[in-house]
Amino acid sequence: MRNLFFRQDQLGSCGNNVVIGRTVRIRYPEFVHLGDNCIIDDYTYISTGLVMDGYGHIAAGCKLIGGKACTVRLGQFSTFAPNVVISAGTDDYRGGIATPFVPSELKREAQYSDIIFGRHCIVGANSVVLPFAEFGEGAALGALSLAKGKLSPWSLYAGIPARKIADRDKRYTLAATKKFKLRQAI
């Protein structure tokens, strides 16, 4: 099935067994690099660079924004639940002009950064991730939460702003990953 907004050959790179929903909108496809076995579900909008390693998943209705200067990096086996917003760029609302057509010198302290998600990261439904956030391997953010800093590896965060509420089971997750990879090799 063809996408309505871009051709797959316009992507910066695209691995094998990649599924992109028909209504996914990618403003700068040349800045999108998808590894093997990735899925981007319908109604997702991407207007920034994106690098997805293998077995990544972006659920329906997600928005990844930030422009050409930023990149969202999604490690292996990482996933965004429905309606997540990843904002690699944001304007300062105290003053200046806040539209994409305005040169940066006429904006007031706009912030832009790459946002990094290590392997096995999860972002829960309707959560927001702001510039300078960094998810260590195995970090998870619960639904309806706001992340704007570093999330420690193998930790579960939730709330506005997000705070650590529990540890994640690293041993179980890595054992499950090993079993999965063995099954794929058969």
Position 160 scores a pLDDT of 98
Position 1 scores a pLDDT of 61
State the Cα–Cα distance between residues 148 and 87, nearest whole angstrom: 10
For residue range 1-46, what is the model confidence (pLDDT) as tens digits? 678 888 889 999 999 999 999 999 999 999 999 999 999 999 999 9
Select from 3, 39, 2, 1 the least CA-distant residue to 18.
39
Task: Describe the strand order of the beta sheet including 79-80 as a list of residue ranges.
Answer: 19-20, 39-40, 57-58, 79-80, 122-123, 140-141, 155-158, 163-167
Q: Would you call 177 exposed, middle or buried from its count of C-beta atoms within 10 A (0-12, 13-18, 19+)?
A: middle
State the Cα–Cα distance between residues 86 and 1, nearest whole angstrom: 27
For residue range 137-151, what is the model confidence (pLDDT) as tens digits? 999 999 999 999 999
State the Cα–Cα distance between residues 55 and 98, nearest whole angstrom: 36
Where is pLDDT greater, at 3 or 171?
171
Position 185 scores a pLDDT of 76
For residue range 111-124, what is the model confidence (pLDDT) as tens digits? 889 999 999 999 99
Where is pLDDT greater, at 182 or 176?
176
Q: Residue 109 pLDDT > 80, yes or no?
A: no
Q: Residue 163 pLDDT > 80, yes or no?
A: yes
Q: Residue 82: which pLDDT band, with cuts at 50, 70 and 90? A: very high
Where is pLDDT greater, at 101 or 50?
50
Where is pLDDT greater, at 185 or 43?
43
Q: Are strands 155-158 and 163-167 parallel, antiparallel or unpaired?
A: antiparallel
Domain extent listing, the chain: 8-185
| CATH code reported for the domain at 8-185 | 2.160.10.10
Structure tokens, 149? 């800093």
State the Cα–Cα distance between residues 5 and 7, nearest whole angstrom: 7
pTM above 0.75, yes or no: yes
Q: What is the DSSP letter of 119?
A: T
